[in-house]
Amino acid sequence: MHVFIADGPSEVASFVAQIIGKTIFDKTLAVLCLPTGSTPIPTYKELVRMHKEEKLSFANVVTFNLDEYIGLDKDHKESYNYFMNHHLYQHVDAKPENVHIPDGTLPNDKYEEYCSNYEKQIVEAGGLQIALVGIGRTGHIGFNEPGSTDKDRMRVVHLHDVTIKDAAGSFGGFEGVPKTAVTMGLGTVLDAKHIILIATGKNKAEIVKKFLEDEEARKSPTDCPAVYLHEHEHVTVFLDKDAASLLE
Ligand code: F6R
Protein backbone atom coordinates (compact mmCIF):
# COMPACT_ATOMS: atom_id res chain seq x y z
CA MET A 1 0.00 0.00 0.00
CA HIS A 2 1.39 3.39 -0.98
CA VAL A 3 0.29 6.48 0.92
CA PHE A 4 0.69 9.99 -0.52
CA ILE A 5 0.01 13.13 1.43
CA ALA A 6 -0.96 16.13 -0.64
CA ASP A 7 -1.36 19.74 0.41
CA GLY A 8 -5.11 19.86 -0.03
CA PRO A 9 -8.14 18.41 -1.82
CA SER A 10 -7.27 19.97 -5.19
CA GLU A 11 -3.82 18.40 -5.20
CA VAL A 12 -5.36 15.01 -4.33
CA ALA A 13 -7.78 15.52 -7.23
CA SER A 14 -5.08 16.34 -9.71
CA PHE A 15 -2.99 13.22 -8.77
CA VAL A 16 -6.02 10.95 -8.99
CA ALA A 17 -7.34 12.47 -12.22
CA GLN A 18 -3.87 12.01 -13.77
CA ILE A 19 -3.92 8.28 -12.91
CA ILE A 20 -7.46 7.82 -14.19
CA GLY A 21 -6.69 9.91 -17.29
CA LYS A 22 -3.62 7.82 -18.07
CA THR A 23 -5.62 4.59 -17.74
CA ILE A 24 -8.23 6.01 -20.11
CA PHE A 25 -5.55 7.09 -22.62
CA ASP A 26 -3.70 3.75 -22.41
CA LYS A 27 -6.55 1.26 -22.55
CA THR A 28 -8.81 0.41 -25.43
CA LEU A 29 -11.50 0.04 -22.79
CA ALA A 30 -11.10 1.46 -19.27
CA VAL A 31 -13.32 -0.12 -16.62
CA LEU A 32 -13.70 2.04 -13.53
CA CYS A 33 -15.52 1.81 -10.22
CA LEU A 34 -16.54 5.28 -9.00
CA PRO A 35 -17.78 6.73 -5.70
CA THR A 36 -19.97 9.69 -4.82
CA GLY A 37 -19.68 11.94 -1.76
CA SER A 38 -17.91 15.22 -1.18
CA THR A 39 -14.37 13.81 -1.47
CA PRO A 40 -14.37 12.91 -5.20
CA ILE A 41 -16.03 16.15 -6.36
CA PRO A 42 -12.69 17.93 -7.10
CA THR A 43 -11.48 14.82 -8.96
CA TYR A 44 -14.59 14.82 -11.17
CA LYS A 45 -14.12 18.54 -11.74
CA GLU A 46 -10.55 17.90 -12.88
CA LEU A 47 -11.61 15.02 -15.16
CA VAL A 48 -14.23 17.29 -16.73
CA ARG A 49 -11.54 19.95 -17.25
CA MET A 50 -9.28 17.36 -18.88
CA HIS A 51 -12.16 16.34 -21.13
CA LYS A 52 -12.82 19.92 -22.20
CA GLU A 53 -9.26 21.23 -22.43
CA GLU A 54 -7.11 18.16 -23.07
CA LYS A 55 -9.42 16.03 -25.22
CA LEU A 56 -9.74 13.28 -22.63
CA SER A 57 -12.54 11.19 -24.10
CA PHE A 58 -14.81 8.92 -22.07
CA ALA A 59 -16.09 7.17 -25.20
CA ASN A 60 -14.23 3.98 -24.28
CA VAL A 61 -14.80 4.12 -20.55
CA VAL A 62 -17.13 1.75 -18.74
CA THR A 63 -18.09 2.80 -15.22
CA PHE A 64 -19.75 1.04 -12.32
CA ASN A 65 -20.77 3.13 -9.36
CA LEU A 66 -20.34 1.75 -5.88
CA ASP A 67 -23.71 2.36 -4.35
CA GLU A 68 -27.09 4.07 -4.18
CA TYR A 69 -29.68 4.82 -1.51
CA ILE A 70 -32.74 2.60 -1.57
CA GLY A 71 -35.94 4.52 -2.21
CA LEU A 72 -34.62 7.57 -4.07
CA ASP A 73 -35.67 8.23 -7.65
CA LYS A 74 -32.82 8.76 -10.09
CA ASP A 75 -33.64 12.45 -10.40
CA HIS A 76 -33.83 13.02 -6.61
CA LYS A 77 -31.20 15.66 -5.79
CA GLU A 78 -29.57 13.44 -3.13
CA SER A 79 -29.55 10.29 -5.23
CA TYR A 80 -26.20 9.06 -6.43
CA ASN A 81 -27.60 8.80 -9.95
CA TYR A 82 -28.29 12.55 -9.87
CA PHE A 83 -24.89 13.23 -8.28
CA MET A 84 -22.95 11.39 -10.99
CA ASN A 85 -24.84 13.05 -13.82
CA HIS A 86 -24.46 16.45 -12.21
CA HIS A 87 -20.73 16.17 -11.44
CA LEU A 88 -19.50 14.02 -14.31
CA TYR A 89 -21.66 12.42 -16.96
CA GLN A 90 -23.52 15.44 -18.29
CA HIS A 91 -20.16 17.10 -18.95
CA VAL A 92 -18.30 14.26 -20.74
CA ASP A 93 -18.83 11.93 -23.68
CA ALA A 94 -19.42 8.66 -21.82
CA LYS A 95 -21.86 6.39 -23.65
CA PRO A 96 -25.04 5.94 -21.60
CA GLU A 97 -24.90 2.16 -22.14
CA ASN A 98 -21.43 2.11 -20.53
CA VAL A 99 -22.52 3.92 -17.38
CA HIS A 100 -23.79 1.75 -14.53
CA ILE A 101 -25.17 3.31 -11.37
CA PRO A 102 -27.10 1.07 -8.98
CA ASP A 103 -30.86 1.50 -9.09
CA GLY A 104 -32.38 2.39 -5.73
CA THR A 105 -35.99 2.16 -6.90
CA LEU A 106 -36.56 -1.58 -7.31
CA PRO A 107 -38.94 -3.66 -5.21
CA ASN A 108 -37.06 -5.51 -2.44
CA ASP A 109 -37.51 -8.93 -3.99
CA LYS A 110 -35.75 -7.83 -7.20
CA TYR A 111 -32.39 -6.94 -5.63
CA GLU A 112 -30.89 -10.41 -5.44
CA GLU A 113 -31.14 -10.88 -9.18
CA TYR A 114 -30.27 -7.23 -9.86
CA CYS A 115 -27.10 -7.42 -7.77
CA SER A 116 -25.84 -10.65 -9.30
CA ASN A 117 -26.49 -9.19 -12.73
CA TYR A 118 -24.51 -6.02 -11.83
CA GLU A 119 -21.59 -8.21 -10.74
CA LYS A 120 -21.90 -10.21 -13.97
CA GLN A 121 -21.73 -7.02 -16.02
CA ILE A 122 -18.47 -6.06 -14.27
CA VAL A 123 -16.97 -9.44 -15.14
CA GLU A 124 -18.24 -9.25 -18.73
CA ALA A 125 -16.63 -5.81 -19.09
CA GLY A 126 -13.31 -7.46 -18.18
CA GLY A 127 -13.22 -6.59 -14.46
CA LEU A 128 -12.49 -3.31 -12.69
CA GLN A 129 -9.13 -1.80 -13.59
CA ILE A 130 -9.40 1.01 -11.07
CA ALA A 131 -11.71 1.18 -8.07
CA LEU A 132 -11.75 4.74 -6.78
CA VAL A 133 -13.21 4.77 -3.26
CA GLY A 134 -13.74 7.15 -0.37
CA ILE A 135 -13.89 6.19 3.29
CA GLY A 136 -16.73 6.86 5.73
CA ARG A 137 -16.19 7.70 9.40
CA THR A 138 -17.34 4.17 10.27
CA GLY A 139 -14.57 2.76 8.08
CA HIS A 140 -17.03 1.91 5.34
CA ILE A 141 -16.00 1.53 1.71
CA GLY A 142 -19.03 1.92 -0.51
CA PHE A 143 -21.71 1.22 2.06
CA ASN A 144 -19.89 -1.77 3.52
CA GLU A 145 -20.44 -0.82 7.13
CA PRO A 146 -18.86 -2.51 10.19
CA GLY A 147 -19.87 -6.16 10.14
CA SER A 148 -19.03 -6.46 6.43
CA THR A 149 -16.33 -8.85 5.27
CA ASP A 150 -14.00 -9.26 2.31
CA LYS A 151 -16.27 -12.01 0.98
CA ASP A 152 -19.28 -9.73 0.54
CA ARG A 153 -20.75 -9.11 -2.87
CA MET A 154 -23.26 -6.56 -4.05
CA ARG A 155 -26.33 -6.49 -1.84
CA VAL A 156 -28.80 -4.37 0.09
CA VAL A 157 -27.46 -3.15 3.45
CA HIS A 158 -28.51 -1.12 6.48
CA LEU A 159 -26.64 2.12 7.02
CA HIS A 160 -24.79 2.77 10.29
CA ASP A 161 -26.18 5.56 12.50
CA VAL A 162 -22.93 7.55 12.08
CA THR A 163 -23.33 7.38 8.30
CA ILE A 164 -26.97 8.46 8.58
CA LYS A 165 -25.95 11.36 10.86
CA ASP A 166 -23.26 12.42 8.40
CA ALA A 167 -25.88 12.56 5.63
CA ALA A 168 -28.59 14.17 7.77
CA GLY A 169 -27.72 17.74 6.75
CA SER A 170 -28.59 17.00 3.13
CA PHE A 171 -31.89 15.32 4.00
CA GLY A 172 -33.33 17.82 6.48
CA GLY A 173 -32.42 15.67 9.49
CA PHE A 174 -31.73 12.07 10.58
CA GLU A 175 -35.29 10.90 9.92
CA GLY A 176 -35.17 11.99 6.29
CA VAL A 177 -32.09 9.92 5.39
CA PRO A 178 -32.76 6.56 3.69
CA LYS A 179 -31.80 3.79 6.10
CA THR A 180 -30.84 1.21 3.49
CA ALA A 181 -28.71 1.21 0.37
CA VAL A 182 -27.50 -1.10 -2.36
CA THR A 183 -23.73 -1.42 -2.45
CA MET A 184 -20.98 -3.23 -4.25
CA GLY A 185 -19.39 -5.68 -1.78
CA LEU A 186 -15.86 -5.43 -0.50
CA GLY A 187 -15.15 -8.68 -2.32
CA THR A 188 -16.11 -6.93 -5.55
CA VAL A 189 -13.92 -3.92 -4.79
CA LEU A 190 -10.99 -6.16 -3.82
CA ASP A 191 -11.21 -7.84 -7.24
CA ALA A 192 -10.17 -4.54 -8.88
CA LYS A 193 -6.62 -4.45 -10.22
CA HIS A 194 -5.83 -1.11 -8.57
CA ILE A 195 -7.70 0.45 -5.66
CA ILE A 196 -7.32 4.18 -5.05
CA LEU A 197 -8.64 5.48 -1.74
CA ILE A 198 -9.05 9.22 -1.24
CA ALA A 199 -9.70 11.05 2.02
CA THR A 200 -9.57 14.77 2.73
CA GLY A 201 -10.41 17.01 5.65
CA LYS A 202 -9.95 16.96 9.42
CA ASN A 203 -13.15 14.95 9.96
CA LYS A 204 -11.45 11.97 8.30
CA ALA A 205 -8.25 12.11 10.39
CA GLU A 206 -9.40 9.62 13.05
CA ILE A 207 -10.70 6.98 10.69
CA VAL A 208 -7.64 7.37 8.44
CA LYS A 209 -5.40 6.72 11.44
CA LYS A 210 -7.46 3.66 12.39
CA PHE A 211 -7.38 2.35 8.81
CA LEU A 212 -3.64 2.86 8.35
CA GLU A 213 -2.02 2.54 11.77
CA ASP A 214 -4.26 0.80 14.30
CA GLU A 215 -2.92 -2.69 15.05
CA GLU A 216 -6.09 -3.65 16.93
CA ALA A 217 -8.25 -2.75 13.93
CA ARG A 218 -6.02 -4.99 11.78
CA LYS A 219 -6.89 -7.91 14.06
CA SER A 220 -10.64 -7.49 13.53
CA PRO A 221 -11.12 -5.84 10.13
CA THR A 222 -14.86 -6.40 10.11
CA ASP A 223 -15.10 -3.59 12.73
CA CYS A 224 -13.46 -1.17 10.29
CA PRO A 225 -13.98 -2.68 6.82
CA ALA A 226 -11.49 -0.35 5.07
CA VAL A 227 -8.79 -2.37 6.85
CA TYR A 228 -9.49 -5.21 4.41
CA LEU A 229 -7.77 -3.11 1.74
CA HIS A 230 -4.45 -4.09 3.39
CA GLU A 231 -5.02 -7.55 1.84
CA HIS A 232 -4.77 -6.12 -1.67
CA GLU A 233 -1.45 -5.88 -3.47
CA HIS A 234 -2.07 -2.62 -5.35
CA VAL A 235 -3.67 0.08 -3.23
CA THR A 236 -2.80 3.76 -3.43
CA VAL A 237 -4.04 6.12 -0.73
CA PHE A 238 -4.19 9.86 -1.38
CA LEU A 239 -4.74 12.04 1.67
CA ASP A 240 -4.57 15.73 2.22
CA LYS A 241 -2.65 17.16 5.19
CA ASP A 242 -5.81 17.44 7.31
CA ALA A 243 -6.87 13.83 6.79
CA ALA A 244 -3.27 12.75 7.53
CA SER A 245 -2.91 15.00 10.57
CA LEU A 246 -3.09 12.21 13.18
CA LEU A 247 -0.68 9.85 11.44
CA GLU A 248 2.60 9.06 13.23
C1 F6R B 1 -20.25 6.93 -1.75
C2 F6R B 1 -19.51 5.95 -0.98
C3 F6R B 1 -19.11 6.24 0.42
C4 F6R B 1 -18.28 7.53 0.54
C5 F6R B 1 -17.91 7.82 1.99
C6 F6R B 1 -17.19 9.13 2.13
O7 F6R B 1 -20.50 6.44 -3.05
O8 F6R B 1 -19.24 4.90 -1.48
O9 F6R B 1 -18.37 5.17 0.94
O10 F6R B 1 -17.12 7.40 -0.24
O11 F6R B 1 -19.07 7.84 2.78
O12 F6R B 1 -18.06 10.16 1.78
P13 F6R B 1 -17.55 11.67 1.67
O14 F6R B 1 -16.64 11.72 0.49
O15 F6R B 1 -18.81 12.46 1.42
O16 F6R B 1 -16.88 11.99 2.95
Instruction: Give the residue whose CA is nearest to atom 9 of ligand 1.
Output: 142
Identify the pLDDT of residue 166.
Answer: 95
Identify the pLDDT of residue 245.
Answer: 98
Instruction: Give the residue whose CA is nearest to atom 1 of ligand 1.
Output: 36
Bridge partners (DSSP) of residue 238 are: 4, 198
Identify the pLDDT of residue 28.
Answer: 85
The whole-angstrom separation of Cα 164 and Cα 126 is 34
Bridge partners (DSSP) of residue 196 are: 132, 236
Interface ipTM: 0.99
Identify the pLDDT of residue 27.
Answer: 78
Neighbours of 49 (CB within 10 A): 15
127 dihedral zone (left: phi>0; alpha: psi -120 to 50; beta): left
Q: Please report the beta strands in the chain, taking only residues with DSSP state E, as ranges in sequence order.
A: 2-6, 30-34, 61-65, 67-69, 99-100, 130-133, 155-158, 180-183, 194-199, 235-240
Instruction: Give the residue whose CA is nearest to atom 5 of ligand 1.
Output: 136
Identify the pLDDT of residue 32.
Answer: 98
Helices (H), 137-239: 161-168, 186-190, 205-213, 215-219
pLDDT below 70 — which residues of the chain? none
Distance 184 CA to ligand 1 centre (A): 13
Fold assignment, 2-240: Rossmann fold (3.40.50)
Q: Which of 45, 80, 133 to mutate to test the pocket of ligand 1 (most atoms within 8 A of CB)?
A: 133
Instruction: Give the residue whose CA is nearest to atom 4 of ligand 1.
Output: 134
Atom of ligand 1 nearest to the CA of 144: 9
Atom of ligand 1 nearest to the CA of 80: 7
Instruction: Give the residue whose CA is nearest to atom 10 of ligand 1.
Output: 134
Nearest CA among 101, 167, 113, 177 for reference residue 137 = 167
Contacts of 22 (CB under 8 A, 6+ apart): none
Q: Which of 45, 78, 79, 143 to mutate to test the pocket of ligand 1 (most atoms within 8 A of CB)?
A: 143
Pocket (CB within 6 angstroms of ligand 1): 35-39, 66-67, 80, 134-136, 140-142
Instruction: Give the residue whose CA is nearest to atom 11 of ligand 1.
Output: 136
The whole-angstrom separation of Cα 159 and Cα 182 is 10
Identify the pLDDT of residue 30.
Answer: 96
The whole-angstrom separation of Cα 224 and Cα 46 is 30
Distance 199 CA to ligand 1 centre (A): 9
